[in-house]
Copies of this chain bind each other. A is one copy, B any other.
Amino acid sequence: MGHGLILTINWRQLNVYGGFAVKQDSLKSILAGKGLRLTRARQDIITAAQAMKGHFDPQNLYDSLKEKGSKASRASVYRSIPVLLEAGIISEAERTDRCTHYEKVTENRHHDHLTCLRCGTTIEFYSPTLEMLQDEICQRENFKGIRHNLDILGYCRECVDK
């Protein structure tokens, strides 16, 4: 499971995550393969998303764009999110009552989250067994799993006694 799409793998190879630039031409051709264009707004959004630290929601991303002086609109941010998801640039981190949070895809592999109900801290974890188990469940139910969200809510070490 995890990120799954072939496109994801290409993106991962194309992007150098230490702060280096993305190879524009290759990026462009991948988008082209999907009938998409690498426009200014899309570039700005991709750059901003890759510069985000930790979890962020669409509004955070928009704010960050404004800070950098980009003209990209809120609508474009929302419109780009499915693209960024499918391209493997970002992934869903957690869904709150308010909105969905995302995080950039880095060299880290897929992971799930423990979220503290008191202080809001999130602890990332990855369990291969859990991933396999989910694949099994999907098979059993004749379901083609694409991705998943597992959020375990509770209390972290610091908050458990309070």
The chain A residues found within 8 Å of chain B, CB to CB, are 1, 95-97, 99-100, 114, 116-117, 123, 125, 127, 129-130, 133-134, 137-138, 140-157, 160
Contact = CB atoms under 8 A, between A and B. Distances in A.
Given A133-B129, A133-B130, A144 B154 contact: yes
Given A114-B141, A130-B133, A150 B149 contact: yes
A99 B154 CA distance: 21
8 contacts: A114-B138, A116-B143, A130-B130, A130-B133, A130-B134, A137-B152, A146-B155, A149-B149
**Copies of the chain in the assembly:** 2
Contact of A151 (B1, B114, B149): B149
Given A142-B157, A145-B154, 16 more contacts: A1-B152, A95-B96, A97-B99, A97-B100, A114-B137, A114-B138, A114-B141, A130-B130, A130-B133, A133-B133, A143-B157, A144-B155, A144-B156, A146-B155, A147-B154, A148-B152
A128 B80 CA distance: 38
Contacts of A153: 145-149
Contacts of A117: 146
Given A138-B114, A149-B149, A143 B155 contact: yes
Given A114-B138, A138-B114, A144 B129 contact: no
A68 to B, nearest CB: 26
